[in-house]
Amino acid sequence: MDTGLRCLTYTLLLLCLSFCVPKLLSKVLSSAVVKYDPVYDQVEDFTVSSCLTLLCSVNGCSITTAEGIGNSKNGFHPIQERFSGFHASQCGFCTPGMCVSLFGALVNADKTNRPERRPGFSKLTVSEAEKCIAGNLCRCTGYRPIIDACKSFATDVDMEDLGFNSFWRKGENKEVKLSRLPSYDRKSATCVFPEFLKKEILAGANLDYQGYDWYCPVSLEQLKGLLQSDKANEGTSMKIIVGNTGVGYYKELLHHDTYIDLRYIPELSIIRKDPSGIEIGAAVTIYKAIEALNKGNEGEFNLEDGLVFKKIADHMEKIASVFIRNTASVGGNLIMAQRKHFPSDIATILLSVDAIVDIMTGQTHEKLTLEEFLGRPPLDSKSVLLSIKIPCWGSSRDVSSDTYTKLLYETYRAAPRPLGNALPYLNAAFLAEVSLCKNSTGRMLKNCRLAFGACGTKHSIRVREVEEFLSGKLMCIDVLYEAIKLLESLVMLEDGTSSAAYRSSLAVGFLFEFLSPLTDCNVKISDGLLNGYNSTLLFKNSNQERDEFGEIKFPTLLSSSKQVIQLNKEYHPVGEPTTKTGAILQASGEAIYVDDIPSPKNCLYGAIIYSTEPLARVKGIKFKPGSSPDGVITVISSEDIPGVNLGSKMVFGTEPLFADELTVGVGQRIAFVVADTQKNADIAANLAVIDYDKENLEPPILSVEEAVKRGSFYKVPSFLDPKQVGDLSKGMAEADHRILSAEITLGSQYYFYMETQTALAVPDEDNCMVVYSSTQCPEFAHDTIARCLGVPGHNVRVITRRLGGGFGGKAVKAIAVATACAVAAYKLQRPVRIYVNRKTDMIMAGGRHPMKITYSVGFKANGKITALKLDILIDSGMFVDASPVMPKCILSALKKYDWGALSFDIKLCKTNLPSRAAMRAPGEVQASYIAEAVIEHVTSTLSMDVDSVRNINLHTHSSLDLFFTSSAGERLQYTLPSIWDKLATSSSFYHRVEMIKEFNRYHIWKKRGISRVPIVHEVNLRATPAKVSVLHDGSIVVEVGGIEMGQGLWTKVKQMTAYALSLVKCGGTDDLLEKIRVIEADTLSTIQGGLTAGSTTSESSCEAVRLCCNILVERLVPLKERLMEQMASMEWEMLILQAYLNSVNLSASTLYVPNSSTMHYLNYGAAVSEVEVNLITGETTNLRTDIIYDCGKSLNPAVDLGQIEGAYVQGIGFFMLEEYPTNSDGLVTANGTWTYKIPTVDTIPKQFNVEILNSGNHNNQVLSSKASGEPPLTLAVSVHCATRAAIREARQQLVSWSGRNESDSTFQLKVPATMPTVKELCGLDSIQKFLQWTIGKNRG
């Protein structure tokens, strides 16, 4: 038994019973579990979702967390070392979960009977390595380095495909590379299960603690007894569970009185196979069901049945994520579908094969078809689903000697994420027998089963009318068209179904995809098999690539990547790609975030009560009638604030901590409920009922149009008011063509940092308060808390070590969270902390600024734009926040093109909606879209090539100087023209343009597009403090005002410190990097820290540190020179010792203040993106992205590379995926990962190439470096533009089917360009039009 940290074994006692997993496990997302299965008498290894796993469910299990895999005390695991070395961690909050997911995959792969792997590798394949983290979310890295770290363990990996890392350098051979990787041994991925626990499990374990009962029946008789017990009959709250994963979708705040765990009942956990089919116990996990169904394709059944089982298994692999499938049960999924109308994939695919379910109610057993089961009223709590039988079809068919017959089976799914972890817009599964008479060429359908799910009906359905219509018919285009028309009339979606027309079009598309190959005369039947049936949709238009057995080929997610980096050794170690400071601790889970700080004695917990009304008087707060929330201590409101009611204070204005008598916006904070646990506080906040009064109040302002009508605006300070460029009237007069008053609307985007808002306030002696806050601006939080408490500033200390992601969302928004904790702690004189739940965080965050844009543009016949006029209405929300910076940010990014003359009117609209905050590249990402939308519109009007229009409107240095008067720099610093040309060559842009034309010419149902876009991005440096101290032993402590939140600030600061102190030029200074520690920000130690934002805090902090080091070097050099007169050499440690003896001041602090020549500069870059659009589903696949970005002389190319890739992928989220929906009052309705989809590992470019241009020539910048945090995000507009190009091809094809010759190239592609949006533009009725065109062509 391994009792060390590597594999912690818990025998859970009643005293530990809490029905939840410790917070640590929630943070790392997944944990590796080793469990003994008494049914099969075997030990199982699997990963679980920690935040969904009930503590009692892992009773008797061996649990390995990230710390258990490896740690700083016992040694790090190769997984953790490789994550660090491949630069796969930024903010680090998601990294432990990634490591555990990979660990679980390694354990299971190495247990297989696959051939022995190559030395140094596991048995894991590249595909498995990529998929193992498909369910994990990361907001920082862009996933590419994480994938590389995972792939480095795969036995079939090509070392050349692994990206930039700290282990080897370009040009080294494979043997050298392998020797440099941290060694992997199979034993390091093994956990030993203790034998004594097997007896405990066999005996069963019922648990009881503080009124909660946990039962583990080991037989159906015991289960019946529990269901018929007095407790059950007395209305006790009872829950039957297997994996508890359903609470991820159907949130549960309240506990149940009794839990019944079904996993130990053999009849519910067994898989039976016989010639009639496969019977799966209801408690069997989805993972085990997949395993069993795949084995059914290994000779246990005939070929046809084996392939049906295999396709069911393939579809199940797209459900949820690995660590959900490991514990979620097949039966539980079906019960949710039956009781709660969950849009289940499993229900649909099993419905299509006539699955049978076995139900137990009391002493009665009842076998029903799945269709009957789903159609019944919701199953009552005393009924239990026992098993599901999937019948064999191949052996039961009657095959005539006069026909060749083949069983066809296909499943379909359209979802925002290809590999699952997202609910489908629609799923479907079709089964049919196809017969071909020996004397005929026709193909006849028999025994059709057409099942659809997630289609706006209460549950999955069979479309029997279409089945009956098709049965016995010879397939041809006309029959297919009639079947599709019939299907259209039958799929009736319920009122309120989102994207209803899109879902209906998917149903048509899936049926077309299934049946259309049967109308192709090239399909031949021989030897009882349907050869050629591979879902080929007429000509070269396959939507899913399949192998010779008809199985879907799943290509690797990231087929290749390339990173081109030029190292700069001039300022060693600055410019070196050193690994990120703290990355290994993040990988092991030992990095401390605010919520990891142990709760002090008597700690209380808070939750925010917010307004659900946009404008109303608050008369009072009470809890829902009949509810009495446990553990509530008090409710804090504005009346309890000892000082000023202040939630944040910026240079532009203030925001109250709590609404007084009037709430002026939906999501505004009204009160703060304090309880004994975080869960009780959240429950209490959820049960709070606010008494509103709206009498005699004006209607709220819920749109920018209404704000304009009522003159509701914020002012922009004159120093932030951008200036017009050129003469608009003259530019318009010079134009050959004009587009007038075109409109664009842009929505919001949520930050989705992995760590939500969190804070801990601890009262200290002498009326002081210490606050630990996850904030980007501790200084502002400090000032706000002091004023709110009514105490002097020196009575408050705000401490911030690191953030689990920020992106602007933890600037102003974090202040109020910390202040609320401080007010509660001050009043109660007890520590108070909060971890804001995701739903509340999403409601209050505000996010990116929505806006409405109206533009008029004049242009020449050659595409050169002569004038652009913009009217922009920005929804700033209920409080000003940082909105006044928006006009300047928008114009700065918009000016990437030479518009000739640029005129604008930008209004900040004050509405009764959540106040918006600056989000990564605020205004700039919207401006990048506006600029490209104008370019695309001009192109469409002129029927020109869009790239040539972009090219003709790029700046010359003269026009650049006109548009950016204070930051254009010297001619040599304007690198965009060379980047533009270099990228065309390195990406083979022009060749690929021609290849795409050829592809589109021969593919009907897939279209490709490509786009090349530039960026010119202005950044501004701010004053930043620093302090450097050398300790007695020569080690160095550094403090800076900037906050580490994943951008590598600490790493660059350490490198700069090492370089600057090495100028003392004594022995040992080459190794100073390992002697330096950057410590947490403390507002009483380093003042004037300001705000960490705008991409430049790292370089400002580095310059501040360099100035400090210069002071120390000036003090040390004279001492060194005196000492060198007496000795031949001088080591660093000896010099510092002598400095202490000579009372040399070894601490220096400074405030770096940029001057007019260094405050502003421009960043340049360009991207080429190629996408493929599926015209049947609207799915967009990013095939390839090439980026060249000018980092000047990069301070750390590894860090900057991560920033470029991560920002770009976050931009993909904005442009393609992330919808931030609200109700009619503006209240956010998205409440977590189920409803808000950030990019995942399967949505990034399949080929991802990045080159960092080491341009130099920037003497006014910090060691000639340039920013990388935000500008690359705007390059993601290239994906949107490429999608638009593919859609244009689809629309032209659609027009050709109608017989018209006119172009249909002018259209608006909304942001985000989700699947429904893309499909609508490609034609919701494109299949019908194609069939009409084909029928007409055949008849003509």
Q: Residue 1134: left (phi > 0), alpha (psi -120 to 50), or beta?
A: alpha
- Contact between 891 and 951 under an 8 Å Cβ cutoff? The reply is no
* CB contact at 8 A, 277 and 392: yes
Q: Among this protein's residues, is 1270 annotated catalytic?
A: yes
* β-bridge mates for residue 48, sequence order: 31
Residues pairing with 887 in the sheet? none
Residues 563, 163 contacting (CB under 8 angstroms): yes
Q: Kindly report whether the peptide bond that precedes residue 416 is cis, defined as omega within 30 degrees of 0.
A: no
- Asked if residue 947 lies in contact with residue 1009, where contact means CB atoms within 8 angstroms, the answer is no
User: Tokens at residue 1136, please?
Assistant: 């510092």
CA 94 to chain centre: 11
Strand order in the sheet with 356-361: 271-274, 277-281, 383-391, 356-361, 364-369
- Residue 768 CA to residue 496 CA, distance in Å, equals 53
Token pair belonging to 169: 């350098």
Q: Where would I find the H helices in 245-360?
A: 266-269, 286-295, 303-316, 322-325, 330-340, 345-351
Closest by CA to 1018, choosing from 972, 973, 1062, is 973
The owner of tokens 């010639």 is 275
Structure tokens at 343: 């849009």
Residues 6+ apart with CB under 8 A from 1336: none
Residue 1049 to residue 985: CA distance in whole angstroms: 34
Rounded CA gap, 187 and 101, in Å? Answer: 17
The residues with which 870 forms a beta bridge, in sequence order, are 855, 904
Query: Under 8 Å CB-to-CB from 1266, ≥6 apart: which residues?
Result: 1019, 1161, 1163, 1190, 1191, 1192, 1194, 1258
Residue 685: in which H helix or E strand, if any? helix 678-687
3-state secondary structure 189-238: HCCCCCCHHHHHHHHCCCEEECCEEEECCCCHHHHHHHHCCHHHHCCCCE
Shortest CA distance to 672 belongs to which of 600, 753, 759? 759
Residue with tokens 């709220």: 700
Closest Cα partner for 954 from 917, 979, 972, 929? 979
Q: H/E element holding 1155?
A: none
- The label of the residue with tokens 């946009």 reads 614
Taking the C-alpha atoms of residue 561 and residue 160, their distance in angstroms, rounded to an integer, is 10
Strand duo 1147-1152 + 461-462: pairing: unpaired
Quickly count: other Cβ atoms within 10 Å of residue 1260's Cβ: 15
**Could you give the CA distance from residue 81 to residue 76 in angstroms, rounded to a whole number?**
7
Q: Which residue in 1137, 1097, 1109, 1134 sits closest to 1029, CA to CA?
A: 1109
Give DSSP secondary structure letters for 348-412: HHHHTTT-EEEEEETTEEEEEEHHHHHHSSPPPTTEEEEEEEEE--GGG----TTEEEEEEEEEE
Asked if 488 contacts 510 with a C-beta cutoff of 8 angstroms, the reply is: no
Rounded to 5 degrees, what angle do the CA atoms 287, 293, 295 make? 105
Type and span of the H or E element at 1113: helix 1097-1124
Please state the length of the chain: 1340
Which of the following is catalytic: 1270, 1289, 1302, 1320? Answer: 1270
Instruction: Using alpha carbons, select from 836, 821, 814 the residue that is nearest to residue 769.
Output: 821
Residues annotated as catalytic (active site), given as ranges: 1270
